[in-house]
Homo-oligomer: A and B are copies of this chain.
């Protein structure tokens, strides 16, 4: 599972939810379906239970985690902590990804530069206060300003009164506005990481699937003033574990869902944007595979890129299959018809034309996409080139610095400027041949058919390969010192630069700005009408439904349960024995060693009880961002660690189908057994056991 789903660039506000089903729901802590839970399980959490798990939970960037000891030990997924493990490996010239890491004493724990964790200390519903800030008779622009100012005022109050970091959280597409106040932890140290081969056993083939056998956990520790931090709350480790049928709770930060998108938006995603993206990714993978086939070193450079692509392809394919599930789509259309009827019958609703307005906007988006796709920056790169992406940032910084704040592009406003500069100056491994190959691929894609003028200008009569080669070889931007000098030199330095990437960035600047403006106008229409539909839905159904995921704390619940698939019933638990079965059943060579086990595991095998529950499936409604979420039982004790969903859970981005959608968790018993028997991390085991 990816830590966060970067799916679909649909604008923020989307249409509202459908009726409650099964154990569906990513519930906010102020609004659990208590009656329903009690009816189904004879149990619902009380306030003390909720406070305890909330204050033990950790917001881990795009993922989740939890405190699991009185000395600030933090549990999350290996794949959530992976970038930290990689960063430390790079700095210390080690390979902790491959070899794993264990601090056998606290002074061996390694501080992760830049890593910040947060705990959610308080939540306040400020919807009314913000509404009251809008005095009668104000224009919409004045009203917006009044709301913004009131929110800023509240945040300032919270900061001053509590020292906490307040975030504005909009739920129900703006139906409610909350201030979530976080305690920040900035001294976070790596304590233990298993080998990638066991954390990610089964590799890409097994990703997003079940039965699984992944020890996907990592341990960090929060420090304060140079000493282990003592959190007010932490989760107690289970002494019993769960069994099939047991009720579980997931406490974490689902990233984003689009369950309230209109039928037309889902159709657009399933029939146009996703299939298109899948094809583009498949072409890019081909190109990376070709590059990787040239040498083992080449292959090493592209491994994680290919890997990321393959996962995105698998995930997107899963979404498309959901969006083509006729019974699910019929249900969605039916729910929409029901809401439309309510809106039609409500003389006060302004959403009457909103569905068709969104449909029209989607058509415009489609057309604009064709025109603009190669002038867009994507994950820092442009046309596949990271240098070109950095060049555009330099050109923009020089220009935007001179503009008044309100005229700047969003990412160049004061609040974001630091982050932009930091990213620009970051040191990253740079491989010129790979950069050339990626850029050539991007240019080739752009040059196919009838390329737009700006692409012709960049190519300047050369082949994509020649243009890419010349630009990468001619550019000095790979050197962070050069980027720093240009950044500090400002507009003058950038204008004087003859760096080929800077020259190309100048060509792309204008069309990119124009396309952005047009795309934003379309998105504004979708947002506006999405908000109207959301308002109508909130009016019709209120908080009987849960809001779409917003990467904020939620509670999901449901029992440990197998499910029907592959012609049979899939087992609720896997065991250590199952992992060795698959390792032996495939052999160490298959699929680039996807099912090969680390040496340590083969050696320590006899020390393990093969029947130890390893991974379990449970019927909980989760999504990317929930990675690393603690799974607790009725007592609020830690019984597992979410790390993925099954393949049937992918359409959960759009709708929940409890028949086969399962969250997949490492069993707490497996983590403890591995720490004890394989890694012999006796001190950590004692700490976790609270002894």
Contacts and interface: CB of A to CB of B under 8 A. Distances in A.
A569 B205 contact: yes
9 contacts: A209-B567, A562-B586, A569-B591, A571-B586, A572-B585, A573-B585, A575-B585, A577-B578, A577-B610
Contacts of A209: 566-568
A98 B112 CA distance: 59
A360 interface: no
A584 B577 contact: yes
Contacts of A584: 573, 575, 577, 610-611, 613
Nearest to A583: B611
Contacts of A578: 577-578, 581-582, 585
Contact of A611 (B580, B611, B646): B580
A268 to B, nearest CB: 24
B610 A567 contact: no
Contact of A314 (B202, B243, B567): B567
B244 A590 contact: yes
A208 interface: yes
B205 A568 contact: yes
A587 interface: yes
Contact of A577 (B202, B573, B580): B580
Contacts of A574: 581, 585
Q: How many copies does the complex hold?
A: 2
Interface in A195-221: 202, 205-206, 208-209, 211
B591 A610 contact: no
Nearest to A243: B587
A205 to B, nearest CB: 4
A310 B663 CA distance: 29
A133 interface: no
Nearest to A567: B647
Given A577-B577, A581-B578, A568 B202 contact: yes
Nearest to A647: B567
A565 interface: yes
Contacts of A202: 568
Interface residues of A, number: 38
Most buried by B among A569, A574, A591, A613: A569
Contact of A581 (B243, B244, B577, B586): B577
Contacts of A572: 585-586
Contacts of A585: 211, 571-575, 578, 613
Most buried by B among A209, A582, A646: A582
Contact of A610 (B244, B314, B581, B587): B581
B587 A244 contact: yes
Interface in A538-573: 562, 565-569, 571-573
A40 to B, nearest CB: 21
Interface string A235-246: 000000001100
A613 B583 CA distance: 11
Contacts of A647: 566-568
B610 A208 contact: no
A209 B585 CA distance: 17
Contacts of A611: 580, 584
Nearest to A314: B567
Contacts of A591: 569
Contacts of A211: 585
A370 to B, nearest CB: 29
Contacts of A573: 584-586
A585 B584 CA distance: 18
Most buried by B among A205, A208, A571, A613: A571
A647 B569 CA distance: 13
A561 to B, nearest CB: 11
Contact of A567 (B208, B567, B577, B581): B208
Interface string A604-643: 0000001101000000000000000000000000000000
Interface in A252-298: none
Contacts of A568: 202, 205-206, 209, 647
Nearest to A573: B585
Interface in A590-611: 590-591, 595, 610-611
A571 B587 CA distance: 9
A208 B566 CA distance: 10
A110 to B, nearest CB: 34
Contacts of A587: 243-244
Most buried by B among A577, A595, A610: A577
Contacts of A582: 571, 578
A205 B647 CA distance: 20
A226 to B, nearest CB: 45
Contacts of A613: 584-585
Contacts of A571: 582, 585-586, 595
A569 B591 CA distance: 10
A586 B578 CA distance: 12
Most buried by B among A562, A565, A578: A578
A7 to B, nearest CB: 17
Contacts of A590: 244, 562
Interface string A23-62: 0000000000000000000000000000000000000000
A197 B209 CA distance: 28
Nearest to A648: B567
A591 to B, nearest CB: 7
A659 B449 CA distance: 34
Contacts of A575: 580-581, 584-585
A682 to B, nearest CB: 26
